[in-house]
Amino acid sequence: MNIDSNTKVTGIIGYPLKKTLSPLMQNTAFNALDLNWSYIPMPVKKENLGEAIKGLKALGFKGINVTMPHKEEVIKYLSEVSDYAKIAGAVNTIHFEGSKAIGYNTDGRGFLHALERDGGFSPEGKSALILGAGGAACSIAIMLAMNKIKVLTIVNRTIENAKKLANNIKSRFNDLDIKALSFSEDLPKLIDSADLIVNSTPVGWEGGLIIEPDLFHKKHLVMDL
């Protein structure tokens, strides 16, 4: 990779970013396509988020990805937000266009693509268990609801956040059977009744398990974000 005055600069913001593989993946793609682009990781703490967005725009960045814990908070610093991102209440991609910072959400679409193509799984009529209630969980819950998941259970350490997400989804999809629970509930029973299990929590970044492997069965499709 040769960096010069014509290089288009992109990257990812979040905190922490020790485990992200995005720079490796994106820079490999740029090189394969012979593009004079660069993708860099930028650890940004919550208290510096607004200044970071303003600075990246001023520096001429073409765009950035946004990861935990900024997907929801970043919206207040953007000029525009796509319709899907508004519904999801979270942004994972920002395009800098002139003086504008425009937010998008590709989490749900990418999730569904992987689910169907790589997992051979169709959500229609199935049961899903989502661990976590943040921006990524919201995007995925909406996409599953849009694709006719029958039962959706959201489990989160803070039950209020799980209820808020469940109510948001239910207000748009009245026929969906959706529940919000805490981790103090009977997790093995919830896992046993699910077809799809999605971990959207940061557990696992530094080791450790949120679910013991012996709770999984052959019928389960498990995805970790």
154 in the same domain as 65: no
100 in the same domain as 137: no
192 in the same domain as 149: yes
pLDDT value at position 47?
98
What domain count does the chain have? 2
Q: Which helix (H) or strand (E) holds 154?
A: strand 151-156
Is 3 within the bounds of a domain? no
The closest of 26, 12, 20, 136 to 71, measured between CA atoms, is 136
| Distance (Å, whole) CA 176 – CA 133 | 17
R_g over Cα of the chain: 19
**Taking each helix axis from N to C terminus, what angle separates 135-146 and 107-117, rounded to the nearest 10 degrees?**
60
CATH at residue 158: 3.40.50.720
92 in the same domain as 25: yes
pLDDT value at position 181?
94
Is 2 within the bounds of a domain? no
Q: How far apart are the first and last CA of the chain?
A: 29
Q: Does the active-site annotation cover 71?
A: yes
Q: Tokens standing for 191?
A: 């896992």
Residue 80 phi/psi, 5-degree rounding, is -145, 155
pLDDT value at position 220?
92
214 in the same domain as 124: yes
pLDDT value at position 201?
86
169 in the same domain as 140: yes
Write out pLDDT tens, residues 59-110. Answer: 999 999 999 899 999 999 999 999 889 888 889 999 999 999 999 999 889 9
The closest of 84, 87, 74, 134 to 105, measured between CA atoms, is 84
- Reported confidence tier of residue 161, pLDDT bands at 50, 70, 90: very high
Per-residue pLDDT, averaged over 185-207, amounts to 82
With a CB cutoff of 8 Å and minimum separation 6, the contacts of 8 are: 35, 36, 37, 38, 62
* Lowest-pLDDT choice from 60-64, 137-141, 217-221: 217-221
* Cβ 144 vs Cβ 200: under 8 Å: no
CATH at residue 80: 3.40.50.10860
Is 185 within the bounds of a domain? yes
Is 181 within the bounds of a domain? yes
Structural domain span for residue 196: 108-224
Farthest CA pair distance, the chain? 58
Per-residue pLDDT, averaged over 138-146, amounts to 93
Domain boundary among 85, 105, 125: 105
Is 1 within the bounds of a domain? no
- Reported confidence tier of residue 205, pLDDT bands at 50, 70, 90: low
Q: Is the pLDDT of residue 206 over 70?
A: no
136 in the same domain as 78: no
Write out pLDDT tens, residues 8-51. Answer: 999 999 999 988 999 999 999 999 999 999 999 999 999 999 99
Domain boundary among 105, 127, 153: 105
Query: Annotated catalytic residue: which of 71, 76, 148, 163?
Result: 71
